[in-house]
Amino acid sequence: MGIKFGIFTPQGWRRDLNQIADPYEQYEAMTNVGRVADAGSWDSIWVYDHFHTTPYAELDTTFECWTITSTLVRDTKRVNVGQMVGCNGYRNPSLYAKISSTVDVASNGRLYAGIGAGWYEAEWKAYGYLWVETPQRMGMFREAVQIITKMWTEDYPEFQGKYYTIDKPINEPKGIRKPHPMFWIGGSGEQVTLKLVAQYGDACNVMGDVETVGHKLGVLKGHCETVGRNYDDLVKSTQIRVHLIEEGEDPEKASEAVRQGIPFDEFASGFLIGTPKDVAEKVEQMAEVGVDYVIMYVTQVAYEPALVDLLDREVVRKFA
């Protein structure tokens, strides 16, 4: 089927490093997962752009997105490294363009530059960012995507919008990958986000069940037709969150420790609790509605990096 795969490294946002006490060892556990993926068949590794834990703010480790992106690209040699996704509200778009160009050079063109409008209201407010409602956030997001694209492709870009203005900023070097770092636009909004993917993106990332993902990709295809973009040129990705169990294990009991107090029904609504075979079946279902890239979040990989190799053997290589 020719599907490619990425995997999240454990950075603490989902409280996935808290069995390790020492911060340096936590960092090493995170980057070790990246190295294991780098040695295998995975196309990419990913990080979240969040500052504190979910679903609640805990006094616990969460490593910052772009700092770890820059170190992960140096700790690996082959895999692409991306953010799913960078929050537009946390960095001025001209700064985002400058950071991402620098990291693309550091990685020799292996950056997957992800961006989205942002959603975690409590986090915005905790760190002093001005929270605005959806219409304004989406307006800012639309302008940011345009500015970033200009700074990646023009020597003296200019832009004057409602929310952002740039006046011929110099962005050198612009990056290694041509015509610019690969631009992943995350989100499923049909009126703004998917239109931006059709106009400016190299890849989308849409979430939901199989039916929802299929619908969203249909909307994206329509937007591509409207703007004259070849839909087949875009990477169509989704995420699958996985908690691996042995064949015949009770899902509720087998997930008790990793749920960390989250009720089973709530956890199971967002995670596929099953075997590698179950994961492969889910990938097949997603492929049938047009997905050609799957990014996995896998619990426990900080403590059991062999799970990265297990999924490589049992899932990734089967779809090559």
Residues paired with 236 in a beta bridge:
204
The per-residue pLDDT for 261 is 85
Q: What percent of the chain has pLDDT over 70?
A: 100
Q: CB of 210 within 8 A of CB of 284? A: no
Length of the chain: 320
Q: What percent of the chain has pLDDT over 90?
A: 97
Looking up tokens 């834990």, which residue turns up? 53
Q: Is 91 helix (H, G, I), strand (E, B) or coil?
A: coil
Q: How far is CA 232 from CA 102, 114, 198, 209, 216, in A?
A: 29, 20, 11, 22, 15
Instruction: Tell me phi and psi for residue 268, to 5 degrees.
Output: -70, -20
Q: CB of 78 within 8 A of CB of 38? A: yes
Residues 6+ apart with CB under 8 A from 270: 241
Angle at CA of residue 100, ends 206 and 4, nearest 5°: 40
Q: How many other CB atoms sit within 10 Å of the CB of residue 300?
A: 16
Q: CB of 37 within 8 A of CB of 30? A: no
pLDDT tens digits for range 126-182: 999 999 999 999 999 999 999 999 999 999 999 999 999 999 999 999 999 999 999
Task: Please give the DSSP secondary-structure letter assigned to residue 98.
Answer: H
Instruction: Tell me phi and psi for residue 156, to 5 degrees.
Output: -130, 70
* 229-257 mean pLDDT: 96
Distance in angstroms (rounded) separating the CA atoms of residues 176 and 60: 36
What is the enclosing helix (H) or strand (E) of 201?
Answer: none
The confidence band for 55, taking pLDDT boundaries of 50, 70 and 90, is: confident
Task: Please give the DSSP secondary-structure letter assigned to residue 129.
Answer: -
Match domain 4-319 to its CATH number in 3.20.20.30, 2.40.100.10, 3.40.1380.10, 3.40.50.300: 3.20.20.30
Q: Is the pLDDT of residue 237 over 70?
A: yes
Distance in angstroms (rounded) separating the CA atoms of residues 88 and 199: 18
pLDDT tens digits for range 256-313: 999 988 899 999 999 999 999 999 999 999 999 999 999 999 999 999 999 999 999 9
The per-residue pLDDT for 66 is 98
Residues 6+ apart with CB under 8 A from 19: 302, 303
Provide the residue type at 172 as one letter: E
Q: How many other CB atoms sit within 10 Å of the CB of residue 94?
A: 21
What's the chain's average pLDDT? 97
What is the enclosing helix (H) or strand (E) of 53?
Answer: none
Q: Is the pLDDT of residue 30 over 80?
A: yes
Q: What is the pTM of this model?
A: 0.96
Q: CB of 203 within 8 A of CB of 235? A: yes
DSSP secondary structure string, 219-256? Answer: HHHHHHHHHT--GGGSEEEEEEEEEE--TT--HHHHTH
pLDDT tens digits for range 200-229: 999 999 999 999 999 999 999 999 999 999
Q: Is 296 helix (H, G, I), strand (E, B) or coil?
A: strand
Distance in angstroms (rounded) separating the CA atoms of residues 313 and 29: 21
Residues 6+ apart with CB under 8 A from 290: 213, 214, 217, 218, 236
Distance in angstroms (rounded) separating the CA atoms of residues 299 and 254: 12
The per-residue pLDDT for 1 is 59
